[in-house]
């Protein structure tokens, strides 16, 4: 029996456990990435571990999220990140150099390596044949310190591609088709591995679009083989030495197989307010468009922007539409400037933004109230754009450009002849905005602005816990619901007391004040609680507010791990019907929780507000994770062990 590509890479990095589905394994991490919205906490945690230099072969700190400098906070934090990178052996990608996933793909992606990133779209690097996984900043900090990354072995799903994409149909439509079939919960506990004859028709940037939005399926990661197209890309990036051919064995066995005929696809769109609300663009008739936004880590490559420029050349954006474009990297920006494509974009009436995440995380370009905004991004959660009642559609660059011209959601196939985009044999290489670490780290003084506050510390788990149900929410609660992003809140990411005031702000503005008044308590959730980004602030800030446990029907992978990392117990309803019985404001007590965890028994909660009714909750925790919960979080456990877990 042959091996899948996934198992080949995992087995070559295995330092603990067995590659058996559902079992916990420990992986050696070759490389890490952070971005500035999650990086400050990750590096404060790395400092707390006490290692003098990162032990990975490469770690890169990117500035791409918080570049809107309306106060001192972001600029101060960028200086902190640059100095800490210089001191601890980390490369630093300056603001303006580009979005972390685009730059990583261009300059650092290597087939067969493992990458752990404090951003949920880290799997973008799967487009170049890496096993790249998004995680919380604390997991990344431990990996930088030489520790292993732990995860349960997922199912491996073969997505077998055949045929070739038709004119005006793009890689974005491939992943939207998967979301249509599987929903935002369909990838939980799975790695998607792409194969079949259709793979060779897709370039590395196209593959990266698909692996990027695998995060929206809830997948652990997604990966493509490393083949001639990979070699072509790495050669153009001046990195042919990094090429290694990698593929699954012909007789590889998979847990599931999904078949997609690329030639059968047509332009698709995800309707508000979830990436799996997918319909054909041709079915969206007479929908007037107010804004079109092209960019993000999903669709900001050279090929994407050249395609958009070709569609817009010699034409004008509709008078009622605001078109904004964010090149994914300095490399992309500079190349379209040199070849004239940027001039075509500007002449059409497009507004050109920085090479950053920008509107995707609500950092500027919020649409008007009630607007329809088409975005080539990866998420369209309610309010994420910065305008709560805006209607956000996720589309391909081709659809976004066509619609910007007509003023209505438009099938790009109506444009006529498809533009022919010739990829360069060699990209323009300029790594001057990637700053290497200092050769004299002992002389580097880490800059700490006044917005950087000490890490809050969780206490060890007591014998019993009690408190009120602070909030009860439904299914598919995202990390944007729990800890919103945007230009007002993200600058506070280094200041947990300040940012905690905004926990659940979009759901219940009184949550933070109530949690502090009650000295903490519990949160009740439905299915897929915590989907979305890797932001550990969605666990760290609730921990600061005293949340002791989150009880839900099911959890998204990264948030589940983040809750454990910060000592918040993630519990699952043993009887889903009990969800309807518990009300917000109910007083709960778990009198023997420590004993029950030690004995690996379901935990019993008593509802004092409802006649001492009893509920049983289970927990999908390994012995290692139980130990972390008991210690009050991963940082406490790491320190108490006097060494890094599974040090390599």
In tens, the pLDDT along 463-477 reads: 999 999 999 999 999
Residue 535 annotated to the active site: yes
Of 249, 46, 52, the closest CA to residue 138 belongs to: 46
Set 30, 64, 139, 276: catalytic member: 64
Residue 351 annotated to the active site: no
Set 61, 301, 533, 554: catalytic member: 533
- Give the pLDDT confidence score for residue 70 in this predicted structure: 85
- Give the pLDDT confidence score for residue 648 in this predicted structure: 35
Of 532, 448, 453, the closest CA to residue 134 belongs to: 532
Residue 533 annotated to the active site: yes
CA 182 vs CA 175, 534, 645: distances in Å: 10, 21, 35
Average pLDDT over residues 495-515: 95
> In the chain, where does the domain assigned CATH 3.30.499.10 lie?
5-260, 268-415
Band (80; pLDDT cuts 50, 70, 90):
very high
Domain 465-484+498-636 in CATH: superfamily? Aconitase, domain 4 (3.20.19.10)
Set 535, 537, 557, 644: catalytic member: 535
> In the chain, where does the domain assigned CATH 3.20.19.10 lie?
465-484+498-636
| Segments of 345-433 assigned E as strands | 351-352, 372-375, 391-394
Average pLDDT over residues 439-465: 91
Set 13, 31, 65, 375: catalytic member: 65
What are the pLDDT digits (tens) for 361-402? 888 888 999 999 999 999 998 988 889 999 999 999 999 999
- Give the pLDDT confidence score for residue 1 in this predicted structure: 78
Half-sphere CA count of 137, side-chain side, radius 13 A: 26
- Give the pLDDT confidence score for residue 646 in this predicted structure: 43
Band (493; pLDDT cuts 50, 70, 90):
confident
Average pLDDT over residues 41-60: 93
| Rama region for 238: left / alpha / beta (φ>0; ψ in -120 to 50; rest) | left
Those residues whose C-beta lies under 8 Å from the C-beta of residue 599, and which sit 6 or more positions away, are: none
Asked whether residue 257 carries a pLDDT value surpassing 90, the answer given is yes
555: DSSP letter: B
Asked whether residue 219 carries a pLDDT value surpassing 50, the answer given is yes
Set 101, 229, 375, 379: catalytic member: 379
Set 119, 173, 276, 480: catalytic member: 119
Q: Which CATH class is domain 268-415?
A: alpha beta
Q: Which residue has the tokens 């991490």?
A: 29
Number of Cβ within 10 Å of residue 196's Cβ equals 17
What are the pLDDT digits (tens) for 543-596? 999 999 999 999 999 999 999 999 999 999 999 999 999 999 999 999 999 999
Band (641; pLDDT cuts 50, 70, 90):
low
Which range is least confidently modeled, 61-70, 452-461, 517-526? Answer: 452-461
Is the bond preceding residue 273 a cis peptide, omega within 30 degrees? Answer: yes
Global pTM reads 0.91
CA distance 262 to 266: 9
Q: Which CATH architecture has domain 5-260?
A: 2-Layer Sandwich (3.30)
- Give the pLDDT confidence score for residue 207 in this predicted structure: 98
CA distance 70 to 63: 16
Q: Are 543 and 456 in contact (CB under 8 A)?
A: yes
Residue 162 annotated to the active site: no
Q: Are 255 and 155 in contact (CB under 8 A)?
A: yes
- Give the pLDDT confidence score for residue 647 in this predicted structure: 40
CA 597 vs CA 465, 549, 603, 631: distances in Å: 13, 13, 7, 12
Q: What is the average pLDDT value for the chain, to the nearest integer? A: 94
CA distance 270 to 454: 41
The β-bridge relationship of strands 351-352 and 322-325 is parallel
Q: Are 59 and 406 in contact (CB under 8 A)?
A: no
């Amino acid at each position: 029996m042959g091996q899948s590509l996934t198992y080949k890479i995992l087995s070559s990095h295995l330092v603990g456990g067995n590659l058996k589905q559902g079992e916990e394994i420990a992986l050696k991490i070759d490389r890490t990435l952070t971005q500035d919205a999650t990086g400050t906490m990750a590096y404060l945690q790395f400092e707390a571990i006490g290692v003098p230099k990162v032990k990975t072969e490469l770690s890169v700190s990117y500035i791409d999220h918080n570049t809107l400098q309306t106060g001192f906070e972001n600029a101060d934090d960028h200086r902190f990140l640059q100095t800490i990178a210089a001191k601890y052996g980390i490369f630093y990608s300056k603001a303006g150099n580009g979005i972390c996933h685009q730059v990583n793909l261009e300059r650092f992606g290597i087939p067969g390596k493992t990458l752990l990133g404090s951003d949920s779209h880290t799997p973008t690097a799967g487009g170049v044949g890496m096993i790249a996984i998004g995680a919380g900043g604390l997991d990344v900090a431990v990996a930088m310190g030489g520790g292993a990354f732990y995860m349960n072995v997922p199912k491996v799903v073969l997505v077998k591609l055949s045929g070739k994409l038709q004119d005006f149909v793009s890689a974005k439509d491939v992943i939207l088709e998967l979301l249509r079939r599987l929903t935002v919960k369909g990838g939980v506990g799975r790695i998607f591995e792409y194969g079949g004859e259709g793979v060779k028709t897709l370039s590395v940037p196209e593959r990266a679009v698909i692996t990027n939005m695998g995060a929206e399926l809830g997948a652990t990661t997604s990966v493509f083989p490393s083949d001639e197209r990979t070699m072509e890309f790495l050669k153009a990036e001046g990195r042919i030495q990094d090429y290694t051919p990698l593929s699954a064995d012909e007789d590889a066995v998979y847990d599931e197989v999904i078949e997609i005929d690329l030639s059968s696809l047509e332009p698709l769109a995800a309707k508000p307010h979830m990436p799996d609300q997918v319909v054909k663009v041709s079915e969206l008739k007479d929908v007037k468009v107010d804004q079109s936004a092209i960019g993000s880590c999903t669709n900001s490559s050279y090929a994407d922007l050249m395609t958009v420029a070709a569609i817009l050349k010699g034409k004008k954006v509709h008078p009622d539409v605001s078109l904004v474009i964010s090149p994914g990297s300095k490399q992309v920006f500079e190349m379209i400037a040199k070849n004239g494509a940027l001039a075509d974009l500007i002449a059409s009436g497009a507004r050109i933004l920085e090479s950053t995440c920008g509107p995707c995380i609500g950092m500027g370009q919020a649409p008007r109230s009630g607007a329809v905004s088409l975005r080539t991004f990866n998420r369209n959660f309610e309010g994420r754009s910065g305008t709560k009642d805006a209607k956000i559609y996720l589309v391909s660059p081709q659809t976004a450009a066509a619609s910007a011209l007509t003023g209505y959601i438009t099938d790009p196939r109506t444009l006529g002849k498809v533009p022919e985009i010739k990829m360069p044999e060699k990209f323009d290489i300029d790594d001057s905005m990637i700053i290497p670490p200092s050769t004299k780290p002992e002389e580097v003084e880490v800059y700490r602005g006044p917005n950087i506050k000490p890490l809050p510390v969780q206490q060890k788990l007591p014998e019993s816990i009690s408190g009120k149900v602070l909030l009860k929410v439904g299914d598919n609660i995202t990390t944007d619901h729990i800890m919103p992003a945007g230009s007002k809140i993200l600058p506070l990411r280094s200041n947990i007391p300040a940012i905690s005031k905004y926990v659940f702000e979009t759901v219940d503005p009184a949550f933070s004040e109530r949690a502090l008044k009650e000295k903490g308590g519990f949160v009740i959730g439905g299915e897929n609680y915590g989907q979305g980004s890797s932001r550990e602030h969605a666990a760290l800030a609730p921990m600061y507010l005293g949340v002791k446990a989150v009880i839900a029907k099911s959890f998204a992978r990264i948030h589940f791990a983040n809750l454990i990392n910060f000592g918040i117990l993630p519990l699952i309803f043993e009887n889903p019907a009990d969800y309807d019985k518990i009300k917000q404001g109910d007083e709960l007590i778990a009198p023997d929780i420590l004993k029950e965890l030690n004995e690996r028994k379901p935990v019993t909660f008593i509802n004092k507000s409802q006649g001492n009714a009893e509920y049983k909750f289970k927990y999908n925790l390994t012995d290692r994770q139980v130990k972390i919960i008991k210690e009050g979080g991963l940082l406490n456990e790491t320190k108490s062990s006097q060494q890094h877990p599974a040090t390599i």
